Structure formats: C-alpha cells, structure tokens
C-alpha cells in the first residue's frame, strides 16, 4: 500500500495520470483499503476565479489521508504539499497567458496555506488580489486586441 501511495503521489504528470485513472476505477484497488474521500479544497474555493482546483485538492486529500492512515504523514507532508503545488501549477499552465499570472498567484497561495498550516484556508485578501490581477490582465488584453478600446 505504501509503495502504491508513493507512486501515486509524485510531482510528475505520469503519477497524476496514474492516480486519476485509479480514482476513476477504484474497484481493482479495493484490497488496499485506500481512503478516496475528499472535501476538495476544504474551506477555500474549489474553483477560484474559474480555475478548477478540485482534482489537485482531491489528490492532495488522498495523499494526506492515506499517509496518516499508514503513519507516514510527518515524513511525507512536505512531498505531498509539493505534489499539490505541481498539480496546481499544471492547471495554471493550461490557462491562457492572459490569466495565467492570476492562476499562478492563487496556486502559490493555496500551496503556502497547506505548507504553512497543513490545511487549506485561503484568506479573502488573497482571493481579492488575484481577482484584481485577472481583471486587469483581461482588460489590457481586450484593449490591445484589434477592435479593442
């Protein structure tokens, strides 16, 4: 079980895909008694500014819950948090260049929350700053486009 958990909680695209495939078809993994439950991004928005962080939060929950169950949480926490940031960054990398800086700022905020506090609770000021950053970038892009203001 520990070996599978480690395989599924690495900061690589292959690890993320392998975990997600197993998440979508959990039946073969029943003998391992993994905890697949999630509250997604806990007390923070799951889709801040429309950036869908749910899958990253789910994999992070999976890592935390199963590492705790296996009594390896303390030794695994830093790695699991870095995997979370990897997943968030991958989501941001798929965004348009216009809004990517706002997404990256939120990803860093979410990562910092779990790294520092072990729980995901992002404050309103951080969300407001990212909202402003995104709106300004979109307005600048619109103004610079042909036919823009």
Q: Which residues have a catalytic role annotated?
A: 60
Distance (Å, whole) CA 130 – CA 84: 19
Is the distance from CB of 76 to CB of 60 less than 8 angstroms?
Answer: no
How far apart CA 34 and CA 13 sit, in angstroms, is: 21
- Give the position of tokens 């889709």: 47
């Amino acid at each position: 079980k520990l070996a599978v958990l480690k395989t599924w909680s690495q900061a690589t695209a292959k690890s993320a895909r392998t975990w997600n495939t197993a998440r979508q078809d959990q039946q073969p993994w029943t003998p391992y008694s993994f905890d697949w439950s999630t509250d997604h991004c806990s007390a923070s928005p799951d889709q801040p500014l429309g950036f869908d962080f749910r899958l990253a939060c789910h994999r992070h929950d999976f890592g935390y819950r199963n590492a705790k169950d296996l009594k390896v949480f303390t030794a695994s926490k830093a790695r699991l948090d870095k995997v979370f940031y990897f997943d968030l960054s991958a989501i941001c990398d798929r965004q348009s260049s216009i809004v990517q800086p706002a997404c990256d700022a939120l990803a860093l905020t979410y990562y910092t929350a779990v790294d520092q506090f072990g729980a995901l609770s992002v404050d309103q000021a951080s969300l407001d700053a990212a909202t402003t950053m995104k709106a300004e970038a979109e307005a600048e892009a619109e103004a610079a486009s042909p036919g823009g203001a």
